[in-house]
Amino acid sequence: MKKLLSVLLALTLVVSLFAGCSKKQTEQTSNEQTQQQEEIKPEEGASLVVWESDGPELEFMKYVAQEFEKKYGVKVKAEPVGHTDASGKIQQDGPAGVGADVFAAPHDHVGKMVAAGLIQPVGNQDDIRNRFVQAAIDGVSYEGTVYGYPTGIETYALFYNKAIVKEVPKTFEEIVEFAKTYNNAKEKKYALMWDVGNFYFTYPFLTAFGGYVFGNNGTNKDDIGLNNDGAVEGMKYYKELRKIFDVMQKDANYQFMDGQFAAGKAAMIINGPWAVAGYQNAKVDFGVAPLPTMNGKQPITFSGIRGLYVSSFTKYPNAARLFAEMATSDEMLAKRFEITKQIPPAKAVMERPEIKDDPIVSGFMAQAQNAVPMPSIPQMGLVWDPAAAALSTIWDGKAEPKAALDKAVKTIQDAIAAQK
């Protein structure tokens, strides 16, 4: 009887496996047919203008332009326009017919660009959702619709001086212990330094305990989580770290941290990929690792997503879409990494040996798995100053965490109400 039952179970498993394979094959065929039906071609006589920040990013864009012209016969002019300036420029130039067809912008501009009618939704929504990491998808989306083609992802992480730190700490509690033997206030040597009053860098102290900015993945302006129980606990933890970095908030800034790490006096700092070249030039032997846990809890950092957007004012929407798709293909994103050294947000590209095995990049990539995009709704602009004020009063001991956070949230809520 047992033998018969085993045979029946085995047969059932085999049938299930074949049924699963058949279902997958059917779905694959259906997807291929859908893709063929959606195939588009550039408009007759199309030509494109593309904006990107000057430097290696523009160098990459010029490379894509050459390859695009080879494939489609469409001329593309790549012009230097800073990605943080592009949304304002397209708002002025677009209606006049002299703006870019495709342009680069940071993800936290998405909300206002959509509200102003400046950008078109992505043509193939599923392609973005299937190929890219969730943080990138969320970053270039607004109210459930994907508007951007992700090109790069960045976040901050733990830099450590290898000459000082022999074993990368896994917990903040280990850093506190290390500080007891390393810190020397007279020599301005500290185990850990960061820009303590900058909400961008200090956000993970809230998230580790359950705090957040806006609910529903940063989209609900009426759900503010900066003074919930978790956020208060996080700020209590943050306040305790003053014991190992006993410097007033106004002096515990980015410049101080940056200089001390470059000089070999800071053992560890919290910083981003933009700082790598400077420390390499300063001959600091350093590594990058994910932020350690806090009381066993995983801190979540802010991430920034660079992306390409198709202008609503383009005369050649098909050609513009095809260009954006080519520029963010896996092959092109690998080339972009080669040129810019910025982390590609496509999952398959992240797994390539030349990227995954790069010791500096891998540290940021590991942290990127525990990062969320800065909210892109317009109300995010009302958060920075009140949050920074709360951090300053907490760090300097002028207010208890709950009182400081309650005040910040009330200020943000009043500002949001004033917009209505």
The position carrying tokens 């004020």 is: 389
pLDDT truncated to tens, each residue of the chain (420 aa)? 333 334 333 333 333 333 444 444 434 433 443 443 458 999 999 999 999 999 889 999 999 999 999 999 999 999 999 998 999 999 999 999 999 999 999 998 998 899 999 999 999 999 999 999 888 998 899 889 999 999 998 899 999 999 999 999 999 999 999 999 999 999 999 999 999 999 999 999 999 999 999 999 888 999 999 999 999 999 999 999 999 999 999 999 999 999 999 999 999 999 998 888 889 889 999 999 999 999 999 999 999 999 999 999 999 999 999 999 999 999 999 999 888 888 899 999 999 998 889 999 989 988 988 998 888 888 988 999 999 999 999 999 999 999 999 999 999 999 999 987
pLDDT, position 339? 87
d(C-alpha 334, C-alpha 354), whole Å: 9
Domain boundary assignment for the chain: 47-154+304-373, 156-303+376-418
pTM over 0.85: no
Q: Tell me the backbone φ, ψ of residue 105, rounded to 5 degrees.
A: -155, 155
The Cα-based distances of 8 to 3, 14, 20, 196 in angstroms read 9, 10, 18, 64
Number of H helices, E strands in the chain: 19, 14
Nearest CA among 254, 267, 280 for reference residue 388: 254
Say whether 156-303+376-418 and 47-154+304-373 share the same fold.
yes
Domain 47-154+304-373 has CATH 1.10.10.10: no
Query: Which of 3.40.190.10, 3.40.50.10860, 3.40.50.2300, 3.30.2080.10 would CATH assign to domain 156-303+376-418?
Result: 3.40.190.10
Secondary structure of the chain: what % helix, strand, coil (to 5)? 50, 20, 30
HSE-CB at 270 with a 13 A cutoff on CA atoms is 27
Sign of CA dihedral 162, 163, 168, 171: negative
| Contact of 171 with 164, CB cutoff 8 Å | no
How far does Cα 387 stand from its chain's mean position?
A: 20
